[in-house]
A and B are shown apart, each in its own frame.
Chain A
């Protein structure tokens, strides 16, 4: 079949050329249309339920909402995790489903069960399913700037002009609104007046609700026509609202303005945003799951540009986070590495082949294989990202191998058969090597196949790497047997190409060295053995981590303050911290802080929690050499602000951590149990012990306890006498303290809630417990009493935060690891905690974080790589018909790996998943080189002469292919080793491993394999 393919290609050269052009065109189109993102879609199928229960404490919500809902949701099949976070007035339930579950099916399942529960709740609950996004969907953030607009105006602008416009952009799931004041029409009743009129709050509310509406009545016939009749009462302005009649009786006609202050107010604030110390309003664009980030951001920018012209004069959209910047920088780094790699590989080929035309013929396969890979990626739904493009860079060095074999053989054939027709020579040359080329490619594919078995986050990250390599290798294989022979037949001359002079000299030196080694192999074996031992020691000493941290270009500092802090005090501290950072670290362009919860509740932080988002200047403007030093400078400034827990992260890093463990931090220690007080005590003990472990920074025990509540207990004997109920009192007080939305006023496309709330004047809002107790309450029977008269007030302590996982309560202690590997840190931490912290019965610890992925990936690879090796062994056995020869080739592998390990250790990188992928790649190269060498020895076996001489002759003839394979791979990866831009850090360990490994692998291929072959021959043939 392979012969037929080569024959067909050479007989249909025009067709092949046209097909190649078509492939190039389609590949280019696929590249331009490929969704581009920083990472592959790493989120599991996840459904989030966000429910807001105004005024309820965490414990009450847990008991009345979260627990019953969880019980219901736990019955949904195919779920892998059910996690919830309950805080004051909000509960956030997250369900992860097993990979491959259809998101729409999952959402439908959750929705059905949610509806069943919510309908039966006896109190109002707002919210439901969160937008269909992933934790990485926060792709574009901006603030509204206009010195002439108030915070309320800015929020109105964002909420009612910008948000609806952006939501029409394809791929936008929602626009989260943060900060500022949500405008309301606020009704503050005068209890004294209401009491005089005998009107209760309920009656007032009913008056407003019943009058502020339009009602359809029906149709009447007018002759042959019909006329639609409706009753109109909807108000459209504050004045109209004030004029609603709420009482008509003996005391006269009273309008709303007579019995209440009706003014512009705002909804209770659960969060705030500041920009460079000033309060601001922030918009956060959330992309739909599976959308094209680049396209969505472009669409958002275009829509904003259109909108800006229609916004009030002087309004600016200040963009402080644009995922497209990171993507373009990271992809730029990788693309640049790819381009440089292609150039270097072409140069290397030219040097080794000593024939520019031949080099060009081989080089054609590089761009075409890349374009074909893009086409395949597009067809299989892969996106262009750091991982998939990184896979392509890794493959560059190997892509040319099959074409090199074909072209080199063609050159040899042309040299040896000058009289034959060129087309015939090319055909014979190509078909001769077709089988080894296919076998070699198959081996590489098998080598990378273990990556396809990775699960979890590492699977999502490295499956695209493996797939891209497989696609590229297959494309290169097909090209090497179709287009390359065609181009070779057109471009290669029949004149003798010969071997470059430097290659001849190298060959001569190699033969001398190999003869010496074959005579006295002990020195080589000892040397390589020693090096292997050193690499094993290095491997044991080396730190381990999951993934190198991608420099996202921005920095986030997470602050945790006193749990009972008010929003105002929290924002004031943010202002101080922001000002100090701006003054102390000029590399910070702007600072946007976000305190408390967002509008949608996707990230329900407490008032004591702040994310300080720092947009950094370009690195060439920095005083510091690296981001680590910059972080140290930021840390030093923050040390001047005691009384706050501080943590460092980056936008994507933060969300990935939250997605993995529900919290941020390199390592999380979860304490599972039932009693929240005891969990809190254990967390405190753990947080106290962790700093003793070397490398621990930013230790934070989430503040779960410390909630202080004022309990009001209705005095039943008095309450019943005056018709007062608990529900009535809580409703009344809610309107006094937090405010309750009772209706809305529509103004064009804007909807302004009407709230019953204490007025804007500070005296209207109870400010002390004594004040609250002395407040007048209009009782249902029309009489007036103070709150203290009808209810007893007492303090109670309770949890601020309740986190649950699979129905169990837990608390989290998070820690970042600095200056050492995460896996080693966790191992030490386990040991220290088991010694220092005694766990009561029913309580247990679980460790989480990225290291889990590292361990799982290692475990998976340790299971699958041997299987792959067995498969390779079978292929080798089938090829050589000898287990010993197959063993020699496989025996080359550890010596290839040792170079990778040693180079990794010397470079200071940790053993991460990318480094492991590099080791797997090395495995392939080592096997291929071994095959090249051993197969040639076997071909020479029938020739006369002494064994060492035959081996030397055979090895010297294979010197060029072996060196070419190694150097093209090394030069293909060198740009990645030296790349410094964001995005390079993820692939650098891989490149270092492969480059280092290729150096030792080449040496062992050239010297050790002949030595082992000699031993084998002596054993077999005496």
Chain B
């Protein structure tokens, strides 16, 4: 029996060198386990940098109209708020000044508006000189602009209570709130908070330029997101890709920087690592045939868990590949053993 085995080997070795079969009978008592090959459509790549953020301009930002002494935020930074929900109490004498200013502005605006209406009739009747009318209109429009600006802010202010030194702002939209929590001073023009609609939170990825065109999705903290857009301008060695909006199922923190697994489009197969070996300078697997093992060259793509993603010119889906004693078969191919 053993002699027969070696005879078989001697017979098959020259043929094997050209990529043919290894007879099972020549493999003696080696333990031969097989694994069915699975077809996969996506192949994970090495981790890349990702940030949970939003596209430029998609935020609703609120600036401070005046300097304030203190801001007491009522919600968690990065938390979700609903439209109309109080989110900050601004305190300080400036608030009182601001309210007075708004009140004064309103009165000035109303006065300017009344004057404008009155003057308009006079102007239409040619009772008002052209220069005077232009000055009245300019004054009216400037006050209107200023007033509307303040009024828009005041729309976010809950009606002031007795305390005239504080105001409470409420959220303009439903979404995520973000504010600068470590700001030392609150200066006029600074952002009090910005609001991001839920549909605007997404992952920004930096992916290698050469692989970017096959990027289909990203795996983030156990959550899979499709990639929606790939920017056309490279940043150094990478391209920016945007995922779809983060859904509620994904528990991702706004602005967090994460290591993400990009998913690339590939029509590939998943085979155990123990099934792959190198022969004639190329990765191969051994496909089970009738009474023999067929050497099939494969291209290794990436590791997938404990397996490899590979491509092959042969349809491997559902076929059985040898997943044990592969190195011994490799030794047989190299002519080791036997005398």
Residues of A within 8 A of B (CB): 190-193, 195-196, 560-566, 568-570, 572-573, 576, 580, 636-637, 639-646, 691, 696-699, 706, 708, 762-763, 766-771, 774-776, 783-786, 788-790, 795
B147 an interface residue at 8 Å Cβ cutoff? no
Q: Is the CB of A770 within 8 A of B330?
A: no
Given A573-B325, A641-B29, A784-B238, residue A775 in contact with residue B210 (CB < 8 A): no
In the bound complex, do residue A697 and residue B339 qualify as a contact, i.e. CB atoms below 8 Å apart?
yes
CB-defined contacts of B303 to chain A, threshold 8 Å: 762-763, 767-768, 771
Shortest B29–chain A CB gap in Å is: 3
Contacts of B329 in A (CB 8 A): 643
Asked whether B257 lies within 8 Å of A192 as measured between CB atoms, the reply is yes
Question: Is there a chain A Cβ closer than 8 Å to B45's Cβ?
Answer: yes
Q: Does B324 contact A (CB under 8 A)?
A: yes
Q: Is the CB of A775 within 8 A of B331?
A: no
B308 touches A768 (CB 8 A): yes
Q: Mark B43-78, 1 if CB is under 8 A from A, else 0.
A: 001111100000000000000000000000000000
- State the CA gap A570–B237 with chains docked (Å): 40
User: Contacts A640-B2, A783-B236; is A770 near B301 (CB within 8 Å)?
Assistant: yes
> When the two chains form their complex, are residues A789 and B300 in contact, meaning their CB atoms are under 8 A apart?
no
Q: Which listed residue (B2, B210, B326, B337) contacts A788, Cβ 8 A?
A: B210
B332 beta carbon closer than 8 Å to chain A: yes
Q: How far is the CB of A251 from chain B (nearest CB, A)?
A: 11
Enumerate chain A residues within 8 angstroms of B327, measured Cβ to Cβ: 561-562, 565-566, 569-570, 573, 643
Given that A562-B327, A641-B328 are contacting pairs, would A769 and B300 also be in contact in the complex, using a CB cutoff of 8 Å? yes
B338 contacts chain A at the CB level, 8 A cutoff: yes
- Which among A565, A576, A646 is the interface contact of B30 at CB below 8 angstroms? A576
Q: Which 3 A-B pairs have the closest CB atoms?
A: A643-B331, A640-B29, A767-B303
| B38 interface hit (Cβ, 8 Å) | no
Q: Could you give, for residues 314-334 of chain B, a 1 whenever the CB lies within 8 Å of some chain A CB and a 0 otherwise?
A: 000000000011111111111
- Known contacts A642-B331, A706-B334; 11 additional CB pairs below 8 A are A192-B49, A562-B330, A642-B6, A642-B30, A643-B328, A644-B328, A644-B331, A644-B336, A768-B300, A784-B206, A795-B281
Q: How far is the CA of A636 from the CA of B3 in the complex (A)?
A: 10
- Chain A contacts of B302 at CB under 8 A? 767-768, 770-771, 774
By a CB distance below 8 angstroms, the chain A residues around B236 are 783, 785
What are 9 A-B pairs at a CB distance below 8 A?
Answer: A192-B49, A564-B278, A565-B327, A576-B30, A580-B29, A645-B336, A763-B303, A783-B236, A785-B238
Given contacts A642-B28, A774-B211, contact A784 B336 (CB under 8 A): no
Bin chain B's interface residue count: 35 or more
Q: Find the residue from A192, A708, A775 having the highest chain B CB count within 10 A.
A: A192
Select from chain A the residue with minimum beta-carbon distance to B31: A576
Does B274 sit within 8 A of A, measured CB to CB?
yes
Q: Does B259 contact A (CB under 8 A)?
A: yes
Chain A, Cβ-Cβ closest to B206: A784
| With A640-B2, A786-B208: A768-B301 Cβ-Cβ less than 8 Å | yes
Residues on the A chain within 8 Å of B324, using CB: 572
Given the contacts A192-B47, A576-B325, A762-B305, A562 and B208 also touching, CB distance less than 8 Å? no
Q: How far in angstroms is the closest Cβ of chain A from B323?
A: 11
Contact between B208 and A789, CB atoms less than 8 A apart:
yes
Which residue of chain B is the closest to A771 with respect to CB atoms? B302
CA distance A640 to B5 in the complex (A): 9
CB <8 Å contact, A641 and B30: yes
Q: For residue B337, which residues in chain A have a CB less than 8 angstroms away from its CB?
A: 641-646
B240 within 8 A of A: no
- Say whether B230 faces chain A, with CB atoms less than 8 Å apart: no
Q: Which of B238-278 contact A (CB under 8 A)?
A: 238, 257-259, 273-274, 277-278
Q: Please, how many angstroms separate the alpha-carbon atoms of A767 and B44 in the complex?
A: 12
- Inter-chain CA distance A566–B276, complex, in Å, is 11
Q: How far is the CA of A731 from the CA of B257 in the complex (A)?
A: 26
Q: Are B5 and A639 in contact (CB under 8 A)?
A: yes
Given contacts A192-B47, A192-B258, A768-B302, contact A708 B331 (CB under 8 A): no
Which chain A positions have C-beta within 8 A of B218?
A: none
The reply on B143 being an interface residue by CB < 8 A is no
Q: Report the minimal beta-carbon distance from B17 to chain A, rounded to whole angstroms.
A: 14
Contact with A along B215-244 (1 / 0, CB 8 A): 000000000000000000000111000000
Asked whether B130 is an interface residue with its Cβ less than 8 Å from the other chain, the reply is no
CB neighbours (8 Å) of A640 from chain B are 2, 5, 28-30
Interface: B9 (CB within 8 A): yes
In whole Å, how far is B164's beta carbon from the nearest beta carbon of chain A? 39
Enumerate chain A residues within 8 angstroms of B328, measured Cβ to Cβ: 561-562, 573, 641-644
Residues of A within 8 A of B305 (CB): 762-763
Contact A569 B326 (CB under 8 A): yes
Residues of A within 8 A of B46 (CB): 766, 771, 774-776, 786
| A776-B330 CB under 8 A given contacts A580-B29, A636-B2 | no
**Residues of A with C-beta under 8 A to B5:** 639-640, 642
Q: Which residues of B have CB within 8 Å of A708?
A: 278, 281
Choose one: A576, A643, A763, A769; the contact of B336 (CB below 8 Å): A643
Residues 98-120 of B, flagged 1 when their CB comes within 8 A of A and 0 if not, give 00000000000000000000000
- Measured in the bound complex, the distance between the Cα atoms of B330 and A196 in whole Å is 45
Q: What distance in Å separates the Cβ of B331 from its nearest Cβ neighbour in chain A? A: 3
Contact B49 A699 (CB under 8 A): no
Cβ of B190 to closest chain A Cβ, rounded Å: 19
Residue B306 interfacial (CB < 8 Å): yes
Q: How far is the CA of A562 from the CA of B279 in the complex (A)?
A: 11
Chain B hits for A639, CB < 8 A: 2, 5-6, 28
Contact of B274 among A195, A569, A766 (CB under 8 A): A569
Q: Which of B9, B31, B48, B326 contacts A642 (CB 8 A)?
A: B9
Q: Which residues of B contact A699 (CB under 8 A)?
A: 339
Residue B27 at the A interface, CB < 8 A?
yes
Provide the bound-state CA to CA distance between A788 and B305, in Å. 22
Complex-state Cα separation, A758 to B46, whole angstroms: 13
- Nearest opposing residue in chain A for B308, CB measure: A768
Chain A residues with CB under 8 A of B325: 572-573, 576
Contact in complex: A691, B339 (CB < 8 Å): yes
In the complex formed, the residue of A with least CB distance to B43 is: A770
Q: Is B26 an interface position by the 8 A CB rule? A: yes
With the chains together, A708 CA to B206 CA distance in Å?
33
Cβ–Cβ < 8 Å partners of B257 in chain A: 192-193, 196
Hey, which chain B residues are within 8 Å of A789, CB to CB?
Answer: 208, 237
A795 to B236, CA, bound (A): 27
User: Once bound together, how far apart are the Cα atoms of A573 and B277, in whole Å?
Assistant: 15
State the CA gap A790–B210 with chains docked (Å): 13
A637 to B5, CA, bound (A): 13
Please indicate the chain B residues that have their CB under 8 angstroms from the CB of A645 in the complex: 336-337
Q: A564-B278, A569-B274, A639-B2 are in contact. Are A784 and B330 (CB under 8 A)?
A: no
Are B28 and A767 in contact, CB atoms less than 8 angstroms apart? no
Residues of B contacting A770 with CB < 8 Å?
300-302
Pair A642/B332 contact, Cβ less than 8 Å: yes
In whole Å, how far is A696's beta carbon from the nearest beta carbon of chain B? 8
Could you tell me the distance between the alpha carbons of A762 and B26 in the complex, rounded to whole angstroms?
A: 34
When C-beta atoms are compared, the residue in chain B nearest to A646 turns out to be B337
Q: Out of B6, B238, B336, which one reaches A562, CB within 8 Å?
A: B336
Are the CB atoms of B336 and A786 closer together than 8 Å? no
Instruction: Verify A561–B237 contact, CB threshold 8 A.
Output: no
The complex places the Cα of A570 from the Cα of B27 at a distance, in Å, of: 17
Bound Cα distance A768, B303 (Å): 7
B308/A767 in contact, CB under 8 A? yes
**Complex formed: what's the CA distance from A643 to B48 in Å?**
41
Give the CA-CA distance A789 to B208 in the complex, in Å. Answer: 8
Give A560 to B208 CA distance when docked, in angstroms: 42
A195–B48 Cα distance when bound, in Å, is 12
CB-defined contacts of B259 to chain A, threshold 8 Å: 190-192
Given contacts A641-B28, A643-B336, A691-B339, whether A774 and B208 have CB atoms under 8 Å apart is yes
Complex Cα gap A87–B62 (Å): 68
Min CB–CB distance A914 → chain B (angstroms): 30
Identify which of A195, A580, A643, A696 contacts B330 (C-beta below 8 A). A643
